Structure 1
Amino acid sequence: MLNQKQINYVLETIGQMFPNAHCELNHRNPFELTIAVMLSAQCTDALVNRVTPSLFHKYHEPEDYLAVPLEELQHDIRSIGLYRNKARHIRQMCARLIEEYDGRIPDSMEELIKLPGIGRKTANVILSVAFGVPAIAVDTHVERVTKRLGICRWKDSVFEVEKTLMKRVPKEKWSETHHRLIFFGRYHCKAQHPNCPECPLLDLCREGRKRMKRTNQAKNDVIGHA
């Protein structure tokens, strides 16, 4: 596990690599962001961004999502993974917004996670991006990167990763750290093909060192059999 000095170095380095990291889901307001984040579960932001232009042109308010049959909404998002469940959750969420929140997205964790289809990760994204509230959303990229680097333990749950980052990162840097870790995982430390040979954090990364050792061993085996 990395100590605080090493963690600070890691975050500074990632910040230098991706100083302009940001939410890549296209949206114009908190409601559209909420819909986009719900659609992004187990799906890439790029795919969501291909669907939302026409979706947001057709649907503007929570009432719009309830004014059409469920099958029509499913058809409108059919290129998104798990589109049937997501369409159902979107309609349930919109109904709750109208019933309890005057059609507006609430701006607290306690209220957001009461909405159907919204867990801590989605709520943290909404709080951070839509309302400017310091938050760390732990998606697959954040979880993977923090465990590979040794900021968190392999066995840590998503909530434990979030708690560790909240403890180790100054609160005023939570949101920017969240986005930078995502960019680092999305564009550099990828799940299947991480760019270990060109990584400035290789010496600190327990996963990277293992991968490079295996790669070098494989090369030596090939040379040895040549």
Structure 2
Amino acid sequence: MFSTKDKIIFCGNFGSGKTEISINYVLELAKRGVKAALVDLDIVNPFFRSRDEKCLLESKGVTVISSSILSKGADLPALSPHILGLIQEKNCKVVFDLGGDDIGSKILGRFKNDLEENYELFFVINVFRPFTNNKEGIIQSLYSIEKASGLKITGLVNNSNLGTESDIGHLIKGKELLNQIKEELNIEIKFHCLKEDLLDLVKGYDIKEPIFPLKRYMVPIWEK
């Protein structure tokens, strides 16, 4: 589940939950004593952004880099020069929260040559979202992201859920569909995501891949 590569990129369609996963992933790295950083490359979604949790992340020792425009509410496609510095830094795990779909993935092409082979590109899939609710839609989205970014997707992440209404059955349905993708494209399922309060329900199911428990950070403003 935790890659040996230094650069871990989470991509996915709008509503896939990649931002939530990025935050949980980098916080877990920091908790384990790993030098870690989060790069917010999402210039597509103005509502749920990892950079909005900058104070929390930095309090846990995580370096946070996003737009070079020093405004929390700005959604301008301006990249900080510190991003390249982090990519080139040794002994630092850098987690990238990439913008949704192929549009957001284009920005990754800027760093294609700098990443070389020292990266993982994880495609986060929620089978209960439009465009990724069937095998054909998932494969089309996957190829679109690869074409836009110029990088190959190295693993699948199952984050199938219905928000606060999620149960273990949603994870299982996602697993079954991702197994089809795995067989057809020969891309490994890296892990499954599940709300941390549902972990005890996993024991009765035959799930070979790791389960990554998620704590909820991306809360709509009306729920705060």
TM range (shorter): under 0.3
Higher strand share: 2
Higher helix share: 1
**Higher Rg:** 1
Q: Normalising by structure 2, what TM-score?
A: 0.26
